[in-house]
Amino acid sequence: MQFVASGTVVRVIASEVGRHHRPTWFTEVGPAPRGRTRKGPWFPRQLPGVGSRSISGWPEGRSGPFRRPATPTGGAVGVVPTGTFAPVLLRTGFALLAGALLAQAFEPVGLALLLPIGVAGFVLSVRGLPARRAWIPGLAFGIGFQFVLLFWMRVVGYEPWVALAGIEAAFYAPLASATVVLLRHRGGPLWFAAAWVAMETIRSGWPFSGMPWGRLSYAVAGTAWQDALPYVGMAGLSFLLALLGALLAGVVTGPRRLRAGVAVAGVAAASVVPTLVPHELPTVGERTVAVVQGDVPGDGSDILLDHRQVTRNHVDATVDLADRVEEGGAPRPDFVVWPENSTAVDPFLASDVNAWINEASAAVQVPILVGAMVDAGTENVLNQGIVWEPDTGAADRYTKWHPVPFGEYIPWRDLGLGSIGQLRLIPRDMLGGTRTEPLPVGGTLVADAICFDVAYDDGIHAQLRNGGQLLTVQTSNAMFIHTAQIEQQFEISRLRALETGRHVLVAATNGVSGVIAPDGTVVARAGIRTQDVLVEDVTIADGLTPAVWAGSWPGRAAVALTVLGLVLGLLPYRRRQRSGGVGT
């Protein structure tokens, strides 16, 4: 039977599954053969077929760049049983659940094995759809993933949570459409993995200052996958995990399940090989460091409620450390690290706060890396790590590179967003810094990161390439003290230690503070909602891991490869359009 409309023929193919079984009907959409543009009978030959196996001997159906191809290439779905593709609505529901499942790979659940499973769910939800429709389940996947992952943002306000999670979820819509096109290529899973990394790279820097939370590589702490980080970095590990997920999807529904299964086993084995050959940098000495967690009064969630008491807590804890050093109860540190917001007012303008910091540095007689809010006019503020010397006071400073949109500054404030809900509590916008040189602190070159900076590659890598020997993370998570954000960020700090091959010192106002070894091991950790001082010996690293040496180039390469793959996917369609013309 043949139906012709606008030069397109819908062929109904009878396939016998068994000799005594009723025929199974398949559909294939393609152009009408030449000379067959009139209505009339045209009978295709009947060939046996099983499942979604392609049928040789048939003219390949033309398809636009946003249509499912009739003949499979690179593992894409081709001739399929009628009705095997669920309606878009069901796919959308499946994608929503797959996204929520992927979020469980991160803290507080932390089931890292869900990483490739969640990615496979994404591929299965869009595979076989026309690209012009694939964005719908793609967006649903992003909503399920980002709204669950970033649920802790609701403590700032439901409006910021919806705004931030909604923006991040939107990136999975174009990724879904791109996936449909890229899976048509030979080696489709490789192209898809590059596209996933490209998406993570773009959303880590745009819009505004970007938000890298939820990169696949940020959920592997404590697994065999983590040992690949010094070699391939965050982007490279995300690539391996996305590739594993795409191959896993091929095992479930692909026409070459055995081959896909072998590929899954191969990639899984390759991704954990670094466990057998861990990367270690040479060391050039040791330092004794002190990390101070002063705690926050009240329920611990509001620093501004009594910010001077927060500063006083850190001063008192440091003075107590100095007393223990004098009594021989603790070794004298080479320097001390205070957290972000250890003073929530400008220490250069608040005379009492200035005097307290001088008191602490004079007592311990070593530099203190102080976290302070410094005024930058009447409408802006700087979030800084200030080296405070015991005799001369403030010296070098690091300014936070990546303020958080809707948390530390309000995009489009001129449009009135600053008057909505909890956003009213952000009267001034925080400005980002650009320093690429490490801070000289107590004879050590320290690469500093303030709070969410630890999730971004650029600032950390720049300081390490310029000689940084140690990494500090000054953070104030008091607002999120009862949420999953605390552990999610601490896990990223552990992964930075592995990626950079350096000790990482995490100083938080009331949790989680810790000292992390280059292999990701937590050497010391302060409890949440406690006052504590961690004094530990750490090594000073020399040189760069391959991951830090490569810097941002793997992410850029992924973007370039994705663009190339999309262009190559569209070129055949453009040629057919010029030769005869087909619609999209």
pLDDT in tens, 262-292: 777 888 787 778 878 889 999 999 999 999 9
Between 158-170 and 131-149, two packed helices, what is the crossing angle to 10 degrees? 140
Looking at residues 535-539, what average pLDDT do you find?
98
What is the torsion angle, in degrees rounded to the nearest 10, for the CA atoms of residue 471, residue 472, residue 478 and residue 483? 10
Task: State yes or no: pLDDT of 211 exceeds 70.
Answer: yes
What is the torsion angle, in degrees rounded to the nearest 10, for the CA atoms of residue 79, residue 85, residue 88 and residue 93? -140
- What pLDDT shows up at residue 407? 77
- What pLDDT shows up at residue 1? 43
State the CB neighbour count (10 A cutoff) for residue 583.
9
- What pLDDT shows up at residue 70? 40
Question: What is the C-alpha to C-alpha distance for residues 555 and 204, in angstroms, rounded to an integer?
Answer: 10
246 pLDDT band, cuts 50/70/90, is very high
Task: State yes or no: pLDDT of 300 exceeds 90.
Answer: no
- What pLDDT shows up at residue 486? 97
The more confident residue out of 77 and 250 is: 250
φ/ψ of 436, rounded to 5, equals -115, -5
Tell me the HSE value of 182 on the side-chain side, using a 13 A CA sphere.
26
Q: pLDDT tens-digit profile of 8-31?
A: 333 333 333 343 443 333 333 344
Task: State yes or no: pLDDT of 106 exceeds 80.
Answer: yes
CA nearest neighbour of 503 among 346, 370, 337, 341: 337
Q: pLDDT tens-digit profile of 321-330?
A: 999 999 999 9
Q: Are strands 8-15 and 2-5 parallel, antiparallel or unpaired?
A: antiparallel
- What pLDDT shows up at residue 120? 97
State the CB neighbour count (10 A cutoff) for residue 254.
26
Looking at residues 347-367, what average pLDDT do you find?
97
Catalytic annotation, residues: 340, 400, 451
Q: Are strands 470-475 and 504-508 parallel, antiparallel or unpaired?
A: parallel
CA distances from 569 to 101, 155, 255 (A): 31, 44, 21
Tell me the HSE value of 324 on the side-chain side, using a 13 A CA sphere.
15
Looking at residues 541-551, what average pLDDT do you find?
97
- What pLDDT shows up at residue 476? 95
Question: What is the C-alpha to C-alpha distance for residues 180 and 133, in angstroms, rounded to an integer?
Answer: 10
Does residue 57 come out as left (phi exceeding 0), alpha (psi in the -120 to 50 range) or beta?
left
- What pLDDT shows up at residue 265? 81
Please tell me which of 159-163, 181-185, 321-325 the model is most confident about, judged by mean pLDDT: 321-325
Task: State yes or no: pLDDT of 342 exceeds 90.
Answer: yes
Q: Is 481 exposed, middle or buried (0-12, 13-18, 19+ CB in 10 A)?
A: buried
CA nearest neighbour of 455 among 110, 131, 106: 106
The more confident residue out of 154 and 407 is: 154
> Are the C-beta atoms of 239 and 270 separated by less than 8 Å?
no
Q: pLDDT tens-digit profile of 33-45?
A: 444 443 433 333 3
> Are the C-beta atoms of 172 and 138 separated by less than 8 Å?
yes
Question: What sign results for the dihedral spanned by CA atoms 571, 124, 148, 190?
Answer: negative
Neighbouring residues of 95: CB distance < 8 A, sequence distance ≥ 6: 121, 122, 125, 126, 137, 138, 140, 141, 144
- What pLDDT shows up at residue 580? 59
Among 62-71, 193-202, 271-280, 512-521, where is mean pLDDT lowest? 62-71
Does residue 426 come out as left (phi exceeding 0), alpha (psi in the -120 to 50 range) or beta?
beta
Share of the chain above pLDDT 90, in %: 67
Q: pLDDT tens-digit profile of 482-520?
A: 899 999 999 999 999 999 999 999 999 998 999 999 999
DSSP letters spanning 3-31: EEETTEEEEEEEE-SSTTSPPEEEEEEEE
- What pLDDT shows up at residue 62? 38
Question: What sign results for the dihedral spanned by CA atoms 460, 461, 463, 464?
Answer: positive
> Containing H/E element for 196?
helix 188-203
584 pLDDT band, cuts 50/70/90, is very low
- What pLDDT shows up at residue 387? 99
> Are the C-beta atoms of 211 and 405 separated by less than 8 Å?
yes
Q: What is the mean pLDDT of the chain?
A: 85
Architecture of domain 283-548: 4-Layer Sandwich (3.60)
Between 485-500 and 229-253, two packed helices, what is the crossing angle to 10 degrees? 120
The three-class DSSP label of residue 156 is coil
Looking at residues 412-441, what average pLDDT do you find?
85
